[in-house]
Structure 1
């Protein structure tokens, strides 16, 4: 179902029979909310900007074709700030209220930043107690085209914001024994903790070659539903919380909202993804609430 959202932005809503639903903003094809049987799974800031230009602070922004600061264009690439289209020609997308496919292709603006011919197909599928997002990246070049016969290199990441009642009581399991890059303090370390937690300071760790699945426990001192992250070709996991100082310096995030969010992101960012002319790659994240 298509509707109008903040400041006229186009919103697609998916539903399943158990009363669960999710919404996708065509600006960035950003999944902005997911209610699983009435429970909010994702965090979206009360100060999130819906101006059709800025990235949306919450849900699942799509990072492509670069993660982090980028000398060719905006931070984390352009996919999260471009207007996507609904693939109305895909039969499942038209007839199934629990699934939609979204399309983004290169244009003059993207080629001026990153001279590549590409097509992105992003499938969002809502099911009972799970949400699956899948990004298919096509290199539209052909071996017979003089100007479009080159491979391109890219990164991609599902920048997922999870809602928690108290970030200091939440934890992430499945990362013990992995090497991670400490983005805040520098250096590479071996993760020795059974459960990664956030305690009184910003944390930004990039964990490489993660086993599957990784699990977010929203409240470790209670018996509550957990979020299992099952991935395909998204072999890196980033755990991030901005804490107080960074939150205050972030215009589209409330000063105290860091208490209620924990980013557990699934990506392919630690090694380059090389895609030859005429080829494609698929990256999938399935979040299971159990």
Structure 2
């Protein structure tokens, strides 16, 4: 008889591009546990989070579907991170050396106990040299019923120190601070940089397709997304982290959660039709000296 530890191991998919560039996927909930570039980890995973099919994982990259936030019919943030996904192709290498895997999930008794619709989800994860691409196809396989849904890709990004993080690209986007009492009107971003110096749970709407997250003075994570208009930025801060059981008190310093998706308006999908969404994470190492020199030169442009 298979014990719990062996069962968990059989639910792990490992993508290896060579040169210590890897991606590890837990099929229960299809959570990306690790993404390493030359053995440098890019994804935050709490050191005290259980790796179990009976608990949510604190960290990684998670797919939230078909509902975001609290839900009258099921668990918080839907059931996509509850169910066991199946590998339908791969892992396979492409001619350029990239590696991908296709995983799938579809409606069954458990999902219909909360949400009585027929669906199929196909999720492709592709590991590049310095990029990770996630593509999801959501199919309505019902003969009779249309339905609507939320879909969010929640990425917990590993950083050196939360004080050094800058997010660029959300200027002029409307936002609300979710856990701060406010009226129903949306506020406006007043700066082209979002700095995180305390607890933040901020929802931006109608965001651009490209967002830059500066995770250190010499490192940039470029996020390029398609059909994912909303972005939520979350970090518990020093006070709230003490109330969370599956994260150590100091770990708030080492991650920022960037949630990209269809979070605040549900999208309708007709019978026998589908919806495609994708996100690409690209890690760029910055040459600080060249950046400083270029800015200095540009300052005198037109004078000499």
TM value normalised by structure 1? 0.90
Q: Determine the structure 2 residue equivalent to 1:38.
A: 39
Q: Determine the structure 2 residue equivalent to 1:70.
A: 71
Residues 71-114 of structure 1: CA distance to partner in whole angstroms, max 9, x if unpaired? 111111111121111114xxxx2532710011111111110101
Question: Which of 133, 148, 170 is the aligned partner of 1:153?
Answer: 148
When residues 7 and 85 of structure 1 are mapped into structure 2, their CA distance, relative to the original with a 3 A threshold, is closer
Distance 1:235 1:245 in 2: 30
Q: Determine the structure 2 residue equivalent to 1:166.
A: 161
Instruction: Pick the structure with greater CA Rg.
Output: 2
Runs of 4+ in 1 over 3 A off after TM superposition: 4-9
**1:244 correspondence with 2:238:** yes
Question: Which of 95, 102, 116 is the aligned partner of 2:92?
Answer: 95
Q: Determine the structure 2 residue equivalent to 1:145.
A: none
TM value normalised by structure 2? 0.86
Question: Any idea what SS the aligned residue of 1:61 has?
Answer: strand
How far the C-alpha of 1:176 sits from its partner, in A, is 0.9
1:194-273 paired onto structure 2 within 5 Å? 194-199=192-197, 201-219=198-216, 222=217, 224-273=218-267
Distance 1:170 1:56 in 2: 23
State the Cα RMSD in Å.
1.6
Q: Determine the structure 2 residue equivalent to 1:189.
A: 187
Residues 231-268 of structure 1: CA distance to partner in whole angstroms, max 9, x if unpaired? 11011111110112221111111111101010111111
Q: For this pair of structures, how many residues does the alignment match?
A: 273
When residues 175 and 5 of structure 1 are mapped into structure 2, their CA distance, relative to the original with a 3 A threshold, is farther
How far the C-alpha of 1:7 sits from its partner, in A, is 4.9
How far the C-alpha of 1:6 sits from its partner, in A, is 8.8
Question: Which of 253, 277, 280 is the aligned partner of 1:283?
Answer: 277
* Unmatched runs of 5 consecutive residues or more in structure 2: 285-304
Distance 1:286 1:186 in 2: 34
How far the C-alpha of 1:15 sits from its partner, in A, is 1.5
